[in-house]
């Protein structure tokens, strides 16, 4: 896509046009988000999407090889069988050469290309060890307005998983028995992030039970992000379907608890604030952050992405003036 073409497509993006255009229109829109990140047209679209979010966003994270794609397949099948529209964002490590998604998680997902209510997109983590680039967050925001469920499968570096917590509603942490990951996560403080913990490959028996016990012990010593929610530790095996229905039930129960406690709106507001702060930090550093009141600017601009436009223009002009005065 040339720059001219990308600009043209970005300027024409609206939620209604994407809905009417189906999967092809969404694919083009996501490409435009990547090509035109930071543009005025993309900011308007993303704020429109943020105001029209309908989906429950589930984050799936954990080390490579733990079985995230297998669980993703199981969740897709269940939600589609219930008639829910499902969007999947599979975030992979980046190629050093092209900066594109290195593994291409779509190849590991068993999906029907003709299913109009099912969409999968692979995106690169780029330079984000936590797994979610600006473009990935933008994709989540857009897909939230188009589906009933959005599932985000993160790159899973191991100890840098925090990004997924500020872009999703329910975080599932996957750990493989006998790998030593549970001990590493305890040291890294990752245990504060998940809403559900899954010990995969539970069919191995005693090592899985030992990992479950270790994790439950670690949780008892961990500060909980939600005092009203007790994080379940589940044994799951894709080999014999052990625990899959329990996992599905716990995901729904957590979502229901957010809605019933009226925390959902607060979580979404916090997410918007964190998106804005993260973008400004990456552009202008801590000095830029010290110049702004994020919540006030989001309210004034009508959303975090238009707020970023306002702040970036203002700070760029002030920096340019300082340079001229030197």
Give per-residue pLDDT as tens, 302-314: 999 999 999 998 8
Comparing 193 with 100, which gets the higher pLDDT? 193
- Are 62 and 173 a contacting pair, CB within 8 Å? yes
Using alpha carbons only, what angle is made at residue 151 by residues 139 and 74, rounded to the nearest 5 degrees?
150
State the SS3 of the chain. CCHHHHHHHHHCCCHHHHHHHHHHHHHHHHHHHHHCCCCHHHHHHHHHHHHCCCCEEEEEECCCCCCHHHHHHHHHHHHHHCCCCEEEEEEECECCCCCCECCCHHHHCCCCCCCCCEEEEEEECCCCCCCCCHHHHHHHHHHHCCCCEEEEECCCCCCCCHHHHHCCCEEEEEECCCCCHHHHHHHHCHHHCCCEEEECCHHHCHHHHHHHHHHHHHHHCCCCCCCCCCCCEEECECCCCECHHHHHHHHHHHHHHHHHCCCHHHHHHHHHHHHHHHHHHHHHHHHHHCCCCHHHHHHHHCCHHHHHHHHHHHHHHHHHHHHHHC
Strand 86-92: give its sheet, edge to edge. Answer: 118-124, 86-92, 149-153, 56-61, 170-175, 196-199, 233-235
Give per-residue pLDDT as tens, 202-219: 888 899 999 899 888 888
d(CA 2, CA 7): 9
Report pLDDT for 98: 43
- Are 161 and 250 a contacting pair, CB within 8 Å? no
Report pLDDT for 4: 42
Compute the radius of gyration of the chain from its Cα atoms. 20
The mean per-residue pLDDT over the stretch 38-48 comes to: 93
Q: Would you call 253 exposed, middle or buried from its count of C-beta atoms within 10 A (0-12, 13-18, 19+)?
A: middle
- Are 156 and 93 a contacting pair, CB within 8 Å? no
Using alpha carbons only, what angle is made at residue 42 by residues 153 and 93, rounded to the nearest 5 degrees?
30
Report pLDDT for 97: 39
Read off φ and ψ for residue 163, nearest 5 degrees. -55, -40
- Range from 39-53, 125-139, 225-239, 243-257 carrying the lowest mean pLDDT: 125-139
Report pLDDT for 298: 95
Residue indicated by tokens 């044994």? 235
Indicate if the alpha-carbon torsion angle 151, 103, 34, 16 is positive or negative: negative
Comparing 223 with 83, which gets the higher pLDDT? 83
- What is the separation, in whole angstroms, between the first and last Cα of the chain? 41
The mean per-residue pLDDT over the stretch 161-169 comes to: 81
Q: Rounded mean pLDDT of the chain?
A: 83
- Range from 110-114, 118-122, 239-243 carrying the lowest mean pLDDT: 110-114
pLDDT band at 171 (very low <50, low <70, confident <90, very high): very high
Report pLDDT for 179: 66
**54-261 topology per CATH:** Rossmann fold (3.40.50)
d(CA 262, CA 155): 31
Report pLDDT for 99: 44
Give per-residue pLDDT as tens, 274-301: 999 989 998 888 888 988 899 999 999 9
- Are 37 and 56 a contacting pair, CB within 8 Å? no
d(CA 198, CA 244): 10
Query: pTM for the whole thing?
Result: 0.87
- Helices 15-35 and 3-11 pack at an angle, to 10 degrees, of 150
- Are 32 and 10 a contacting pair, CB within 8 Å? yes
């Amino acid at each position: 896509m040339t720059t001219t073409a990308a600009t043209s497509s970005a300027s024409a993006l609206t939620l209604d046009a994407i809905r009417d255009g189906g999967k092809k229109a969404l694919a083009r829109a996501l490409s435009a988000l990547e090509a035109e990140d930071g543009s005025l047209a993309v900011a308007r679209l993303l704020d429109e999407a943020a105001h029209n979010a309908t989906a429950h966003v589930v984050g799936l994270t954990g080390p490579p090889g733990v079985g995230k794609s297998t669980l993703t397949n199981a969740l897709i099948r269940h939600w589609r069988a219930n008639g829910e529209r499902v969007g999947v964002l599979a975030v992979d490590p980046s190629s050093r050469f092209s900066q594109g998604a290195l593994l291409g998680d779509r190849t590991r997902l068993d999906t029907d290309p003709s299913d109009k209510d099912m969409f999968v997109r692979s995106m690169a983590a780029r330079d984000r060890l936590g797994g979610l680039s600006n473009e990935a967050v933008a994709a989540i925001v857009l897909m939230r307005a188009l589906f009933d469920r959005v599932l985000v499968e993160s790159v899973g570096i191991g100890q840098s998983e925090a990004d997924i917590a500020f872009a999703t509603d329910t975080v599932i942490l996957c750990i493989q028995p006998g790998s030593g990951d549970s001990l590493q996560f305890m040291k890294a403080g990752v245990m504060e992030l998940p809403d559900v913990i899954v010990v995969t490959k539970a069919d191995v028996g005693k090592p899985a039970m030992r990992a479950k016990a270790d994790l439950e012990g670690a949780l008892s010593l961990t500060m909980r992000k939600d005092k009203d929610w007790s994080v379940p530790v589940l044994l799951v095996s894709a080999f014999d379907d052990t625990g899959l229905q329990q996992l599905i039930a716990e995901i729904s129960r957590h979502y229901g608890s957010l809605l019933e406690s009226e925390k959902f709106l607060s979580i979404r507001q916090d997410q918007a604030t964190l998106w804005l702060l993260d973008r400004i930090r990456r552009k202008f550093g801590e000095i830029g952050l010290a110049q702004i009141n994020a919540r006030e600017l989001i309210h004034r601009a009508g959303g975090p992405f238009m707020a970023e436009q306002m702040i970036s223009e203002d700070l760029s002009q002030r920096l340019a003036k300082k340079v001229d005065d030197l």
